[in-house]
Amino acid sequence: MMDARKDRAPAPARDRSASGPPTDLELEGRWLTALSAGTQRAYGLELDRYVRWWRSTGRAGSPLSATVADARAYQEARMADAGPAGVARSMAAMSSLWRSAAAELAAWGIDLPNPWVPRATRRPRPARKVDQRILPEEDVQALLQACQTDHERALVLGLYHTGARVEELLGCRWSDVHPSPQGWLLTIEPTPERGVKSKQARTVGISLAALEALRAIRRADSDWLFPWGDSRWPYHAAWRAFKRLADRAGVPYVTPHWLRHSAASHALDHGADLATVRDQLGHSSLAVTSVYVHARPGRTLADFLPGGDRGAAPDPRRSG
């Protein structure tokens, strides 16, 4: 049985002729020993976390006896308290352990299926296309109404009213906010901490409502729009906070990036021109932005023609 204690020592190799198959502790020890120092530390923590979870859920048998259902259950548990990178690291660590253990056990004629392979543990992703990642306006309002902290409200309004990517917004400072005759503006520079997808600086409009929400979390000792300790709000912390908010709001299938897609689509619905949306989102061309014209969910010619009312239908993403 694997031991979750961090001070355990790797077990030495054994002579197969002198004993039976290796124990879990021996398998994990040799697996960790074969890794680089940095990977040992990271994967060792992941192993400890997994073993603690296995025991806390009352599962019988060895943690190495996990099935695909167990692996999926652990993945769901990790998603509740970690961002995508953390979940991916957990899955990679466990898959690495299983491959190492399977190679050793095969010499004893023991088959150890790997329940952590991506095909087995990947969650269904129903929202791959842009039109499936646009929230109805009432769902945006539901998110705002479900906010329990000033950081949550600032995040939702900041993302929705600027169309910025999450890393871009979290990387902005108050020195990037400035007034103009047309209203308040926010300059987004393509610096490393703001994400690197957009290579050029751009200036976007920012609403008074978003500014008010940001002022509620402003600190005198920090220039960050989203101060957090001695620096700014980390992406993984903001992502987890948003997912908790989405669960409370009854729209658990969304991610923060959906607000960017939703802002573009809703702005076009309310009469914005493509060039304005392109500049606000930082797209390289109108061709990129035009996807929102074609992707607004459920829109047909009938919606724009006299007498073309098609009635209402339930949101299919809320079914099941």
Q: Which segments of the chain are extended strands (E)?
A: 177-178, 185-188, 202-205, 227-228, 231-232
User: Could you confirm whether 178 is annotated as catalytic?
Assistant: no
In whole angstroms, how large is the CA radius of gyration of the chain?
Answer: 25
183, two tokens: 């209203």
Same domain, 190 and 279: yes
Quick one: 76 and 222 in the same domain?
Answer: no
Q: Which of 8, 257, 299, 317 is catalytic?
A: 257
Look up 125 and say whether it is catalytic. Answer: no
The one-letter code for the residue type at 276 is: T
Among residues 6, 41, 52, 197, the one annotated as catalytic is: 197
Question: Which residue is catalytic, options 49, 78, 151, 165?
Answer: 165
Domain co-membership, 103 together with 143: no
Q: Are residues 141 and 236 in the same domain?
A: yes
Q: Which domain holds residue 31?
A: 20-121
Separation between Cα atoms, residue 120 and residue 114, nearest integer Å = 9
Q: What CATH number corresponds to the domain at position 79?
A: 1.10.150
What's the rounded Cα separation, in Å, for the pair 243 and 81? 9
User: Sheet of 202-205: strands edge to edge?
Assistant: 177-178, 185-188, 202-205
Contact 91, 115 (CB under 8 A): no
261 is catalytic: no
Please confirm, yes or no, whether 197 is among the known catalytic residues.
yes
The answer to whether the CB of 186 falls within 8 A of the CB of 170 is no
Is 235 part of the annotated catalytic residue set?
no
- Give the other-Cβ count within 10 Å of 187's Cβ: 14
Total number of domains in the chain: 2
| Catalytic position from the list 243, 260, 261, 266 | 260
Closest listed residue to residue 224, CA positions, set 157, 151, 189, 174 = 174
The pLDDT profile of the chain, 320 residues, written as one tens digit per residue, is 344 434 444 444 444 445 789 999 999 999 999 998 888 988 999 999 999 999 999 998 899 999 999 998 998 888 877 767 778 888 889 999 999 999 999 999 999 999 987 654 554 444 446 556 778 889 999 999 999 999 999 999 999 999 888 999 999 999 999 998 888 999 988 755 444 455 678 888 899 999 999 999 999 999 999 999 999 999 889 999 999 999 899 887 788 988 988 888 888 888 887 788 887 877 766 666 666 655 555 555 455 456 545 455 444 444 44
Q: Does any domain span residue 8?
A: no
Tell me the CATH number at 280: 1.10.443.10
Supply the pTM of this predicted model.
0.55
Does residue 134 sit in the same domain as residue 249?
A: yes
The answer to whether residue 270 is catalytic is: no
